Every structure is written in structure tokens, then in C-alpha cells.
Amino acid sequence: MRIALAQLNFHIGNYQLNSRKILNAIEQAKEQGADLVCFSELSTCGYAPMDLLEFPSFIDQSNMLLEKVREASESIGVLIGAPRKNPELPGKRLYNSAFLFHEKKLLGFTDKALLPTYDIFDEYRYFEPAKEIRCLVFKGKKLAVTICEDIWDLVQTDPIYNYLPMDLLMEEKPDFAINLSASPFSWAQPARRREVVIANAKKYKLPFFYINQVGGNTDLIFDGGSLVADKMGEIHEELAMFEEDLKIFDIDDINKKEGIGRVKSLDKAELIYKGLILGLKDFFKKSGFSKAILGLSGGIDSAVTAALVCDALGAENVHGLLLPSPFSSKHSIEDALQLAENLGMTCETIAIEPMYETFIDQLENSFGKTAFDTTEENIQSRIRGILLMAYSNKKGYILLNTTNKSEMAVGYGTLYGDLAGGLSVLADVYKTEVYELAAFINKDTERIPVNSILKPPSAELKPDQRDSDSLPDYDILDRILFLFIERRKGNQEIIAEGFEPETVNRVLSLVNNSEFKRYQTAPVLRVSPKSFGSGRRIPIVSVKGM
């Protein structure tokens, strides 16, 4: 039996596009002699559709697409993920299902059993868990079909479900296993995904097909990397990462272990880079925009953001504004101009000193002669935000936010100022990781000026300002933040790792007291195992001592 895996980039709710992609893949699989073509989880509507699932018309369009798939299944089997109406209410209105078609007939369906409700996932809000778990039969073969989460609990240190769907499917003695997934990307996910597939293949001693989605949907990025493993748990082959792919596998070859084992392990910086590029491309394309604007400061964050968006959209679609204040250094302006020249993007300079002085003069009537403090710093940042948003409004460009995860975590940013934007590009990338990205971007030639990388980080909102005046050094700060955010360790646990108690308590206080800012910022492209946004839900008004 020849099985095709169709790893495609779907657009949520764009049934015309999704239909064209699915039907084209079916025809391609037919032409290449496949017996069965498999698509990812919720392929018809895209993942994750969230509250769109509550609209009857949304489900009706998915069902109409399934009818097209059924008609196209002449001479080939099609296994595809889609929502299914629950005919036996009470209960949730829908199931998250996989449908098997062949010769224009529905051979059967299976429903997702384990519904993740943690981190970025909220599937139990919409779906009923499977009431029956059974194999699907195709051309005399029994298929153990599962959907994404159904196979992941096997490798959890602390399992969160009370059974494994594959254990029940094995009672029917299946011939091979297929998992339809929409597994969101993080830099740790490709290795974790291989671990899951290998563990399942080894335990159940079955050839294992894992088909994943690819593409960006708002903050979530899907990296593809679909896998095939033999019954001994060795990777037979891996599909392309961060791009669409379709490959056909002969089950006999897999049983004979005649695969090429194409598994290329990318380092962390390259994974993050490619994930952000895909996230940027699809955010713009699927939102109907093509051009971006951002502020250029001469610092590393704006430089890395500019390089990423130029690579994603093309430099001709990126414009930068240099907005020097009275405290901007000459070398920062020079570095920003050099960056724009290196990348081939356009830029212009608007000095904000006259506007800043006007604000100060006007506010003196209310404030009197008061000492310079964060008020004056934030005025500069908000003037920049106004100018950038004015340009965005007038030209129809998306303003990109350049704040990194370290700054976002501790609130080192100004609401309605440098935190403004339609999309946060680096807000899931710690400052130390930004430097790693800069090194990757510069690996072949100097695109980001070396001075932007080597100089001490500074907001340049007052004379001789440095980030280290307000924050611990980033190598220390980022390690504390990682333990707190990604590892969910409290202050005493982090102190036990060898950090100074005063530093730990101050950092955690900054994180906790900045929650209100994060509630008001742009969507964050997710590239880590624990990102800000839907994946980390902390009340603003709570006692946050941990």
C-alpha cells in the first residue's frame, strides 16, 4: 500500500483556498500512484479556528468541502481532519474528527479522544471527546487513526489523561498507525515531536505516520516536519520543515527499513529564524497586507526585526523611520542608516526634539519645574509611537513591534509608545537569543552592523542611559526569566539554583507587576514552549508572590 502525506498550509476559514489545496493534493497523489492520501488535523477549516466553530455557517462550509473531498476520492482513499457535528446532544456541539473516504463513499470516521486544555490549547471549549475508539478499515488493512494529542501523553513525565487511545486501538491488531496533527511550533518542538513518534512506534511495534500542518495563523506557527517511523521506532523519513510538502511511502519499504532517514537537526537560532520568517510571511499574506514599517534605533532589536521582515517580505516592502531624540547618540543614527543600506530597505529621519520640547513646554503649566524622570522618557517613546502609527494609517503598512521577550517580561517598555504595533516579532525571543539570531543573520555577510551587536544596550531616553542601569545583565536576567516563565519555578526554587535572592525577587516582582502591559500589546509570534499571550494566562489583579 502506498500512502501519501500531504503537508499543507491552510488559512483559517478560507474554504476556497483550502479546497483548492486539498483537491490539488488529492490529484497529485493519484498521479503518483498513491492508494491513500492523508491530511492534517482540521484541514478543512484550518487550525485553530477558536470561536469561529460556534457559527453554524462555518461548519456548513466545512461539510461542503468534505463533500468535494468525497467526490474526489474516486480511485484513492482520503483521510482528512475536519469538525463533525455531534448528533447525540446533550454535549458539545462538535467533535474534532478524521474522515476516511474512498470511491466516493464515507468508509468511516474517528474522533479525537484527548482534548488539550492547557497552554495555547482550549479544545474542550468546543469539542466533545470521543465516545468510541476504533480502527478504520481500508483495502483490508486496519488503520489505527489518532488525532494530535491522542499520542502525546505517552511521553509525559506526569501524564494528564487516564488512558491512552492507542492502547484501545491495539486491541483490534492494526496494521499501521496514522496521526493527524496541528502541532504548533516552538524551538523545542521538532525534537519533542520525534521523541513522541519514536516512542509510539517502539511501544506498539507499528509503522507510524505523523502528518503535521505547516504555516502561520496569527501568533501560532506550524513547522510541518511530518514524520514516518518504522515499527522499531527508527525514523524512516521526515518531510520538509517550514514549507508545504507531499511525499508517498510504500508500507512494504517501511517494514523493510529501506527509508532514507532524512532528519536534519537544525540549531536553535536557525529554527527560531525560520519560524519567525514563516510567521511573518503568513501574518501579512493571510491578513491581506504586503508592507511593513518599523522604528530604527540603531540597536540590536530593531536591527534583527528589520532583517527578519526584509527576508520575509522583501526589502522593497519594508520602510524604517529613524526618530532621534535629544538623547540619541550619533553612532546609533549612523548604525540605523547603515543597517537600512545593508538590507536594501528605505528609511527616513524625523527628529522628534521639536515635538518633545513642545510637550514639555505645554506640560510645565500643569507640572511646574519638576525633575526629569520616566515621564519625560515615556513622552519621547510615545511621540515615536504616534509618528509610526500615523505612517501606518496613511500608507496602510503594518507597524511591527521590536520589543524582545526579556523587555516584555519585566515591563521595560512604554505603553502606547515602543510597545505599539500590529505584531510583536521578537517578544518571544529573549535578549540573549536576539544576539544568537543576529549572529545567524550575519553568518555569511555583515548585514547587521557590528556596532549594533557590540555596544551596550540602551533605550537612549536620557543621558548615558544603559539597560544595565535598571536591569540585571541579560545573561543573568534571561536565565531567571526562563526558570520562572518556561519552567514555572517560584522565587525560592530559582534562588536555590544559585541566584542572588535580591535579584530574583526584584525580577519576579517586575514580571508580575507588568502583567497589565502585556494585556495591551500586539500578538506575539510564538517560538518558545511558553509564550506571552494565550499560552500564559495570569490575572492582572492578583497576589502574585511566588
Higher pLDDT, 155 or 489: 489
Beta-strand ranges (E) seen in 212-259 are: 214-217, 220-223, 227-229, 235-238, 245-250
Helix (H, G, I), strand (E, B) or coil at 95: strand
Q: Which residues are registered as beta bridge partners of 214?
A: 223
Does 258 have pLDDT greater than 80? no
Nearest Cα to Cα of residue 138 among 88, 176, 81, 86: 176
Please state the rounded mean pLDDT for residues 397-422: 94
How far apart (Å, rounded) are the C-alpha atoms in residues 224 and 246?
A: 11
pLDDT in tens, 178-203: 999 999 999 999 999 999 999 999 99
pLDDT for position 389: 96
Q: Which CATH fold topology does 2-265 show?
A: Nitrilase/N-carbamoyl-D-aminoacid amidohydrolase (3.60.110)
Residue whose grid cell is 502591559:
517
The pLDDT assigned to 262 comes to 55
Per the annotation, the verdict on 30 as an active-site residue is no
DSSP letters spanning 98-110: EEEEETTEEEEEE
pLDDT value, residue 228: 96
Which three three-digit cell numbers place residue 381?
517613546
pLDDT classification of 376: cutoffs 50, 70, 90 = confident
Cβ atoms < 10 Å from Cβ of 493: 14
Domain-wise residue ranges, the chain: 2-265, 271-467
Q: Go through 68-101 and write b for each residue having 16 or more CB atoms within 10 A of its CB, e for each that does not.
A: ebbebbeebbbbbbbbbebeeeeebbbbbbbbbb
Compute the distance between CA of residue 354 and CA of residue 352 in angstroms, rounded to an integer: 6
Select the more confidently predicted residue: 371 or 247. 247
Q: What is the mean pLDDT of residues 92-96?
A: 96
How far apart are alpha carbons 39 and 9 in whole angstroms?
Answer: 11
CA distance to 175, 439, 462, 484, per residue, from 541 (Å): 54, 40, 32, 19
Lowest mean pLDDT among 74-88, 317-331, 407-421: 317-331
Among candidate residues 38, 45, 135, 148, the one labeled active-site is 148
Sole residue written with cell 468541502:
65
214 torsion bin: left (phi>0), alpha (psi -120 to 50), beta (else): beta
Which of 41, 237, 376, 377 is flagged as catalytic? 41
Q: What's the start-to-end Cα distance of the chain, in Å? A: 55
Report pLDDT for 461: 63
Answer yes or no: 462 catalytic: no
**How far from 79 is each of 66, 100, 166, 486, 498, CA to CA, in Å?**
11, 5, 18, 36, 52
* DSSP run (H or E) holding 511: helix 501-513
27-40: pLDDT as tens digits: 999 999 999 999 99
The confidence score (pLDDT) of residue 327 equals: 79
Instruction: Identify the CA nearest to 174 among candidates 197, 202, 123, 140.
Output: 140
| The three grid cell numbers given for residue 254, joined into one nine-digit string | 517501511
Query: Looking at 109-118, 220-229, 359-368, which range is the least confident one?
Result: 359-368
User: Could you tell me the CA-to-CA distances from 59 to 71, 97, 182, 379 in Å, in that order?
Assistant: 19, 13, 18, 48
Distance CA(506)–CA(509), nearest Å, equals 5
| Three cell numbers written together for 6 | 500531504
Rounded to whole angstroms, the Cα distance separating 19 from 22 reads 5
- Catalytic option among 21, 112, 281, 405: 112
Amino acid at 57: S
DSSP 399-428: EEE---HHHHHHT-S-TTTTT-SSEESSTT
Comparing 2-265 with 271-467, is the CATH topology the same?
A: no
Which residue bears the cell 508500507? 251
Q: What are phi and psi of 438, to 5 degrees?
A: -60, -40
Domain 271-467 coded CATH 3.40.50.2300: no
Cβ-proximal residues to 231 (8 Å cutoff; 6+ apart), any chain: 201, 205, 206, 207, 208, 254, 255
DSSP structure class, residue 533: B
pLDDT at 259 over 70: no
Does residue 92 carry a catalytic annotation?
Answer: no
CB 165 within 8 A of CB 133: yes
For 151-308, list the strands marked E by DSSP. 176-180, 208-211, 214-217, 220-223, 227-229, 235-238, 245-250, 292-296
| Mean pLDDT, residues 125-138 | 96
| Owner of C-alpha cell 485553530 | 48
The model's pTM is 0.93
